[in-house]
């Protein structure tokens, strides 16, 4: 039989944060290899945290990512407080949730409107989409701006905020400033409903693999910084037990470590996991909006993550409004901590998924070692797994369409390659 | 309160990456002159922030480091929308929406200022560090002098003038 070889090359996959590559190999109509290559050089954050004071971790780790610095700050402060036996509660705890709401709003709005929606509408990028749908894009930008402003209000500045510290904050916001800001959030409530309505009308490929989802679960709230790590296949553990159940492996084609569940393999973290494991913790208005948008209480189609992110945006806005309504400026902006030789873990829900930190400290509070497991490391295996399943099912698509869809499979996860260790080069090779 | 009929100057850069900080250097120096009818901002260069910053302004000046293979310290003046901004001059941007993309998106949305001039200063070294290299600092100082004239003459004439 005459051998046929086809290859598709995309030198630059736009609309993902960071640089990496993808190679899909197809032989005799079957997928024979999938590699999600991350070739961005390792950034050594865990190494240069060693020897620094525990108080420096939130500001150092925030530099890992310009989109989700709050996630890094929150996971690090909770890990340090876990190590030092401190408890931050009341209004300080509420303020932490408030700043996290800001990050979810800005990150989700960016991904839904600017990075993911063009895929569904057939535009190469948001610039081309903006020419036909200017009001939609303007609304997305305004929502993102409100998220950024909320981060600035609590955190001092929108990128790499400077007001978060182990034990609380350097300064707490005035009640009147938050009340004033609530007006913008009230506009955002309406915009989030429009957002959900807009994405619910998109066309989704028939693709729903069965996943093991992993996220935090809190008894009273949709998860941000606290709770137990749970999965839909029986995991229900304290954050401190994370490393007993999850491991990281080095694979040759990635400078970022691959996470997996020990003896089980790939799992999914992020909005889809949070939604599937915590639907009952969403506010009724968010539940109602999700169901009205066509989602059920469980959803396995990763392309519908665009709806889930929109629902989570509404949830974060509702949460922020509630926190502001009940806000009273605390007497002290932080709690006191005393350094001691210790070990502590923290996990929080970054927009892209669970972010685990673990630190060991000496008796002076110097960091002896650090471990950081970002969401994109955790989702790499499941991205590859999705491609293994997706390509055979859509093999009849033209080469260009299949390539686009493969890129979209990756963008479903809003990967932040910069976080995990920039540029995605995609090769689909057919033999 | 910033008067949007005035001039907005945005200096872009990362102060810890050598010559990449040149936009911030120019913005900080200009801030010292307390210019009337002129707002000055610093930015790490995130596109949506830039779009929100310049919305409603009629006259905007942006200063950023570029890599175009010209001699270090070369000052490129790009008059938007008359000229197109070369996307590959800003390879150091770590943002999903870079300055060129923000300009194109703003054009598509009809929110681009009537006058937007980008001054790109050719960088030399973008390594970690907090010092500008001599040719880049020299170029930045000469641009500051020219911008002071530009902004002053605009105030007097009520219109932007090239520098």
Condensed to tens digits (0 to 9), the pLDDT of residues A351-387 reads 999 999 999 999 999 999 999 999 988 998 999 899 9
The mean pLDDT of A196-225, rounded to a whole number, is 96
- Is residue B13 predicted with pLDDT exceeding 90? yes
Residues of A in contact with B110 (CB under 8 A): 134
Interchain CB distance below 8 Å, B104 and A114: no
Q: Could you read off the pLDDT of B50-65 as tens digits, one per residue?
A: 999 999 999 999 999 9
What is the Cα–Cα distance from A425 to A417, expressed in whole angstroms?
12
Q: What is the per-residue pLDDT for A135? A: 96
Confidence of residue B155 (pLDDT cuts 50, 70, 90): low
Model confidence at A426, in pLDDT bands (50, 70, 90)?
A: low
- Burial label for A425, CB within 10 Å (0-12, 13-18, 19+), is middle
Contact A114 B96 (CB under 8 A): yes
Closest CA of chain A from B46, distance in Å? 9
From B48, B96, B105, residue closest to A130, measured CB to CB: B105
pLDDT band with cut points at 50, 70 and 90 for residue A252: confident
Helix (H) or strand (E) holding A258: strand A258-261
Residue A405 has pLDDT above 70, yes or no: yes
Alpha carbons B115 and A3: distance in angstroms, whole number: 58
Most confidently predicted of A149-163, A319-333, A392-406? A319-333
β-strands B75-80, B115-122: how paired? antiparallel
User: CB-hemisphere CA count at 13 Å for A300?
Assistant: 10
pLDDT tens digits along B96-131: 688 999 999 999 999 999 999 999 999 999 988 899
pLDDT of A333 > 80? The answer is yes
Closest in A114, A137, A159 to B109, CB measured = A137
Q: Average pLDDT, stretch A112-119?
A: 93
- Asked if B94 lies within 8 A of A141 by C-beta distance, the reply is no
Residue B41, number of CB atoms within 10 A of its CB: 17
Are A419 and A68 in contact, with CB atoms under 8 Å apart? yes
**Averaged pLDDT for residues A130-143:** 96
| Nearest-Cα residue of chain A relative to residue B92 | A422
- Rounded to the nearest integer, the mean pLDDT of chain B is 87
Model confidence band, residue A41 (pLDDT cutoffs 50, 70, 90): low
pLDDT given at position A34: 84
CA distance B151 to A315: 46
Over residues A168-190, the pLDDT tens digits come to: 999 999 999 999 999 999 999 99
More confident residue, A6 or A138: A138
**What pLDDT is stored for residue B88 in this prediction?**
82
pLDDT at A10: 42
Q: Has residue B160 got a pLDDT over 50? A: no
* pLDDT for A72 beyond 70: yes
On whether any CB of chain A is under 8 Å from the CB of B49, the answer is yes
Confidence of residue A65 (pLDDT cuts 50, 70, 90): confident
Average pLDDT on A48-56 reads 95
The single-letter DSSP state of residue A214 is E
Tell me, yes or no, if B42 comes closer than 8 A to chain A by beta carbon.
no
Residue A406: band (very low, low, confident or very high) from pLDDT cuts 50, 70, 90: confident
Instruction: Read off the pLDDT of each residue in A398-413 and give the average, rounded to a whole number.
Output: 87
Q: Where are the alpha helices (DSSP H) in A293-425?
A: 305-325, 375-393, 399-411, 417-420
Indicate whether A394 pLDDT > 50.
yes
Residues from chain A that touch B48, judged by Cβ atoms under 8 A, are 110, 141, 144-145, 148
Contacts of B52 in chain A (CB under 8 A): 141, 145
Nearest residue in chain A measured CA to CA from B111: A138
Q: Residue for token digits 């979810």?
A: A104
- Residue B157 clears pLDDT 70, i.e. is over it: no
Which residue, chain included where needed, has tokens 């907090």?
A: B130
List the single residue in B with minimal CA-CA distance to A132: B108
Using the predicted structure, report yes or no on whether residue B161 has a pLDDT greater than 60. no
Mean pLDDT of A87-100: 97
Provide, as residue numbers in chain A, all residues whose Cβ is less than 8 Å from the Cβ of B49: 148, 158-159
Residues from chain B contacting residue A159 (CB–CB below 8 Å): 44, 46, 49
d(CA A23, CA A187): 44
Tokens linked to A348: 């929080």
Read off the pLDDT of each residue in A300-319 and give the average, rounded to a whole number. Answer: 98
Residues contacting A28, CB < 8 A, separation 6+ = A431
Q: How confident is the model at residue A21 (pLDDT cuts 50, 70, 90)?
A: confident
pLDDT (mean) for A298-323: 98
Q: Is the pLDDT of residue A203 over 90?
A: yes
């Amino acid at each position: 039989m005459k051998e046929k070889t086809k290859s598709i090359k995309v030198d630059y996959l736009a609309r993902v944060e960071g640089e990496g590559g993808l190679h899909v190999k197809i032989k005799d109509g079957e997928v024979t290899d999938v590699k999600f290559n991350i070739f961005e050089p390792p950034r050594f954050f865990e190494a240069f945290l060693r020897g620094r004071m525990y108080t420096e971790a939130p500001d150092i780790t925030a530099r890992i990512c310009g989109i989700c610095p709050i996630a890094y700050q929150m996971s690090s402060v909770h890990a340090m407080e876990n190590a030092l036996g401190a408890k931050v509660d009341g209004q300080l705890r509420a303020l932490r949730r408030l700043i996290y709401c800001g990050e979810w709003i800005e990150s989700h709005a960016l991904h839904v409107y600017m990075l993911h929606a063009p895929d569904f509408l057939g535009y190469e990028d948001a610039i081309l989409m903006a020419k036909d749908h200017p009001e939609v894009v303007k609304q997305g930008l305004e929502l993102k701006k409100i998220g950024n402003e909320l981060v600035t209000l609590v955190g001092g500045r929108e990128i790499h905020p400077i007001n978060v510290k182990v034990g609380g904050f350097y300064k707490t916001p005035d009640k009147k400033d938050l009340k004033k800001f609530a007006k913008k959030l009230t506009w955002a409530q309406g915009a989030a409903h429009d957002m959900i309505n807009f994405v619910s009308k998109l066309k989704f490929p028939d693709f729903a693999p069965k996943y093991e989802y992993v996220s935090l679960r809190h008894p009273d709230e949709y998860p941000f910084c606290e709770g137990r790590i749970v999965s839909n296949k029986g995991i229900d553990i304290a954050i401190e037990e994370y490393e007993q159940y999850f491991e990281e492996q080095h694979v040759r084609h990635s400078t970022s470590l691959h996470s997996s569940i020990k003896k089980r393999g790939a799992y999914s973290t992020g909005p889809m996991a949070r939604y599937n494991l915590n639907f009952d913790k969403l506010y009724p208005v968010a539940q109602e909006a999700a169901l009205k948008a066509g989602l059920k209480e469980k959803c396995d189609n990763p392309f519908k993550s665009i709806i889930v992110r929109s629902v989570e945006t509404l949830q974060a806005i509702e949460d922020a409004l509630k926190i502001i309504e009940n806000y009273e400026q605390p007497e002290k902006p932080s709690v006191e901590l005393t350094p001691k030789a210790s070990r502590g873990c923290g996990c929080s829900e970054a927009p892209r998924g669970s972010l685990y930190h673990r630190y060991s400290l000496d008796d002076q509070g110097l960091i002896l070692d650090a471990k950081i497991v970002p969401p994109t490391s955790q989702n790499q295996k499941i991205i590859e797994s999705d491609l293994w399943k997706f390509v055979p099912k859509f093999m009849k698509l033209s080469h260009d369409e299949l390539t686009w869809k493969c890129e979209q499979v990756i963008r479903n996860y809003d990967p932040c390659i910069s976080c995990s260790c920039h540029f995605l080069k995609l090769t689909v090779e057919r033999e | 309160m910033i008067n949007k009929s005035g001039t907005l100057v945005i200096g872009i850069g990362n102060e810890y990456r050598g010559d990449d900080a040149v936009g911030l250097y120019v913005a900080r120096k200009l801030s010292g002159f307390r210019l009337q009818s002129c707002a000055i901002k610093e930015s790490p260069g995130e596109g949506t922030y830039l779009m929100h910053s310049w919305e409603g302004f009629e006259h905007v000046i942006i200063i950023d480091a570029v890599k175009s293979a010209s001699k270090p310290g070369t000052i490129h003046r790009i008059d938007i929308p008359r000229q197109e901004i070369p996307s590959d001059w800003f390879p150091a941007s770590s943002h999903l929406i870079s300055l060129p993309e923000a300009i194109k998106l703003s054009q598509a949305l009809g929110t681009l200022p009537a006058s937007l001039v980008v001054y790109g200063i050719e960088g030399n070294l973008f390594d970690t560090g907090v010092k500008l290299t001599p040719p880049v600092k020299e170029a930045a100082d000469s641009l500051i002098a020219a911008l002071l004239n530009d902004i002053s003459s605009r105030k007097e004439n009520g219109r932007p003038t090239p520098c």
